[in-house]
Structure 1
């Protein structure tokens, strides 16, 4: 099993929720109620898109790089109810 790192952009929607897109992999669009849910959906969509590249013998986009053992400076959302 291989793992790839991609960049995603997450924006808050006026009607509520969030949308993720990616400059790294064309066609990635995901929407969720929270940032965490949107990230999870984006991972699933990215996985399907990458598998499609392999199934069709297409090269991966240049921006996609295999993951390394050490990943630094990652920000994660933490939802807190106060």
Structure 2
């Protein structure tokens, strides 16, 4: 069976509530990412969409992915996952 790259990963986001009342999202995992929203949820959803579009553009044009997203395309390395576990 051919290895298939992952289609999902996690990205660390930094969220700041600005004095103007909206949320600003940046990420050291995805340099240059800047997203904003009137609510935290809206700001995070906007960031997710921008990261997805950035990855699509990089792949389409043959540009390197940001380091946090490179694991998605690299099937030669072991995959490390963190999963939540609830205890009884």
TM-score interval, smaller chain? 0.7 to 0.9
Structure 2 residue ranges without an equivalent (≥5): 1-5, 73-78
The partner residue of 1:71 within 55, 59, 83 is 83
Give every structure 1 segment of 4 or more consecutive aligned residues whose post-TM-superposition deviation is greater than 6 Å. none
TM-score, normalised to structure 2's length?
0.68
Matched, 1:17 2:22: yes
Matched, 1:8 2:20: no
Number of equivalenced pairs: 73
Matched, 1:56 2:61: yes
Structure 1 residue ranges without an equivalent (≥5): 74-82
Counterpart residue number, 2:52: 47
**Bigger relative contact order, structure 1 or 2, given CA contacts below 8 A and separation 6+?**
1
Could you say which structure has the higher strand fraction?
Answer: 1
For 2:7 and 2:53, the matched residues in 1 are separated by 13
Q: Give the superposed CA RMSD.
A: 2.4
